[in-house]
Amino acid sequence: MQDPKVAIAIVDDHTLFRQGLAHLLTESGEIEILFDAGNGAELMKKITLHPLPEVILMDINMPVMDGYETTKWVKENYPEVKVLALSMFDEDKPIIQMLKSGAGGYMLKESKATDLVNAIKGIAKNNFFINELVSEKLMRNIQLNNQAQKAASIVLNANELKFLELCCSDLTYKQIADKMNLSSHTIDNYRESLFQKFEIKSRTGLVISALKNEMIKL
């Protein structure tokens, strides 16, 4: 017995794209198009005039009301409706931002029709559709967040910060000691302490870590 069709809506500001996509998905025999809209504001008007879709295919860049804002509105007002982002962008920022806005999955517009049908069916059934693209961006985002949290937990005193700043110069450790009016032994202790805190083993790595986490500025 064939599974019932998944009822969807398409929100995209390009009319020809919406029409072409609707035709392709209808031809699959597994998707029912309830309605389409050119932006979030239009969706807000049309969604009350039709049966509630199980899934909304959501573009990002749209006039009047973009995909981020529209997705948040959908999840606030119709939490049972799943949102599958459909965009040309494969960069980290739009993908992560759409997921944070409430989308349960993300597909590229260049995807094959069969892959999109499977994504729609998957998100309708499981609430989420995590493909390789999304999992890669999520893992990278988690790693960056962990690094940021780790950096935020590193506490440096005034002398350690001054030592970091001077490490950005071409001064030797002996010259840094003289400039700070400290012994070479004390400077060596600062260096080894910072190596441990940042979990790195070189002066270059130390400076890069400090710059990346905005502890010092050139």
What 3-state class would DSSP assign to 83?
strand
> Which amino acid appears at position 207 of this protein?
V
Indicate the range of 118-122, 185-189, 203-207 predicted with least confidence: 203-207
Please write down the long-range contacts of 202-211, taking CB distance under 8 Å and 24 or more positions apart. Answer: 203/167, 206/164, 206/167, 207/164, 207/167, 207/168, 209/151, 210/164, 210/167, 211/168
pTM over 0.85: no
Distance of CA 78 to the CA centre of its chain: 23
Digit-coded pLDDT (tens) for 2-55: 678 999 999 999 999 999 999 999 999 999 999 999 999 999 999 999 999 999
The per-residue pLDDT of the chain, averaged, comes to 86
Q: Which domains does the chain have, with CATH numbers?
A: 6-142 (3.40.50.2300), 154-212 (1.10.10.10)
Contact 25, 33 (CB under 8 A): yes
C-alpha 181/C-alpha 129 separation (Å) is 60
User: Residues, the chain, total?
Assistant: 218
Digit-coded pLDDT (tens) for 74-110: 999 999 999 999 988 877 788 888 888 988 888 989 8
Q: What confidence tier does 216 reach under pLDDT thresholds 50, 70, 90?
A: low
| Residue 87: HSE in the Cβ half-sphere, 13 Å Cα cutoff | 27
> Does the pLDDT at position 149 exceed 90?
no
> Does the pLDDT at position 125 exceed 80?
yes
